[in-house]
Amino acid sequence: MGKKSAKLSGAEGFEQYYGQLYGDRWQALKESFAGEGSAVEYKIPGSQQSYFLDSASVLAALSLPLEEAENILDLCAAPGGKTLVLASRMPQDAKLSSNERSPERKHRLATVVQTCLPAGISERVITSCSDGATWCTRQSECFDHILLDAPCSSERHVIADPKYLNTWSPSRIRTVTTEQWALLSSAYRLLSPQGILLYSTCALCPEENDGMIERLYKKFNKDGSAFSLLEPDPDLNEVSAFAPSLTLPGFEKTQYGYMIMPDRQKGAGPIYFSIIRKEKTCFTS
């Protein structure tokens, strides 16, 4: 971000910043934010309650392959929607660690796991309260599948809340990307060789999306052999029994991942995701 963008602030600065990013499309995006969204009911047989989440969130969680998974991690899991999608799909002998750093949000996450999953599945989901950015200092390369739905600028919510809109500035993005990088680099260190990591946000800002994967390349994959990017292959049949009304939205290709954009997907999203397969250890002996 240059000196000009750094001076932007408040509602006017927000408008200028994202108007420059998206050009003529920005107006359509703003109008789509004002719509009803694309919430679907997710109900697993045997559970006490249903859970409602955006169809784009279902698609992102569905795009993490779980074949032969044994140890799965949802690193920033609250409020719990993507944890439910992962848990409902995981192999019968797999375990899912569902983590949240905020004690209050972790309590909500644990409640969702207990009420929205049947006992036979919830007993294989372990909820924890920990800072995901420092988890890699205690363990390494111990999860074969990881979902990192990172905290982000969440522009859709900024627009909807005058308090956040009026206090917005580009420094918000700089703060968030610092946090995202700490989480992503930790998640990568926690991922076992041949494991798969799905990174996602609900941000529109490229620095929080492809920009994070670019940093991952520079840090861990300079020669191109440490990890590879996978194409999404979500199978609606995996979750159709839990969300009969679900129609999976389409997605647009970016440099390193994919975007689900609400102006073209009937209100679904925004969601960015990138799927990374770790080809070899990131630790040297």
pLDDT for position 191: 98
pLDDT for position 1: 46
Contact 177, 212 (CB under 8 A): yes
Do the bridges between strand 252-253 and strand 258-260 make them parallel or antiparallel, or are there none, so unpaired? antiparallel
Which residues of the chain are under the pLDDT cut of 50? 1-6
CA distances, 73 to each of 39, 54, 59, 248 (Å): 24, 21, 17, 24
Could you give the CA distance from residue 204 to residue 81 in angstroms, rounded to a whole number? 20
Strand partners, 72: 96, 145
pLDDT for position 36: 79
Annotated active-site positions, please?
202
Strand partners, 199: 148, 274
pLDDT for position 16: 96
